[in-house]
Amino acid sequence: MSNSIRVGMSEIAVSKSPDLLVTLGLGSCVGVCIYDFYIKIGGMAHIMLPDSSTTNEVTNNGKFADTAIPALVSQMEEKGSLKSRMVVKIAGGAQMFSFAGMNNKMLIGPRNVTAVEDSLNALGLRISGKSVGGNLGRSIFMDLSSGVVKVRMLNSPDIIL
């Protein structure tokens, strides 16, 4: 029997088949899904901000791309996963609001996507599927029995990554 595990903002969760990892309402946040097909273990991070350099002390590794992704990979490795078997899919990073004269600092969604991609590259991990950008929020459903990641957006058909 599977459990549905909700991954909230700035949270990281790792579980195994047949569980389902779910994060709802990604706007500018990015959901990072990593799956190991061999041992059917998966993890998800709901990343809120690009990097931790703007804070003096990181009290929650799940909040920032540069801390959440290494923490997620580490938690998966502790459960027996190998980086060479990790499949990565990401979704989110929308630009939810637009204002005249917006500067680059206010473009949180696109900055989050870039930071996630950079953090994954730094660890030698490749993204095999993504649904990012635009101006619509997303929800992600990750089936740990198959590794299928379903992305749901308002008034759109589901996207399978």
Active site residues per annotation: 29
64: which DSSP letter? B
Q: How far is the C-alpha of 71 from the C-alpha of 41, rounded, in Å?
A: 15
Alpha-carbon gap, residue 89 to 70, rounded angstroms: 15
Residues in the chain: 161
Cα dihedral across residues 128, 109, 67, 32: positive or negative: negative
Residues 6+ apart with CB under 8 A from 106: 99
* Residue located via tokens 């990750």: 142
Q: For residue 97, give the DSSP letter.
A: -
CA atoms of 50 and 112, how far apart (whole Å):
5
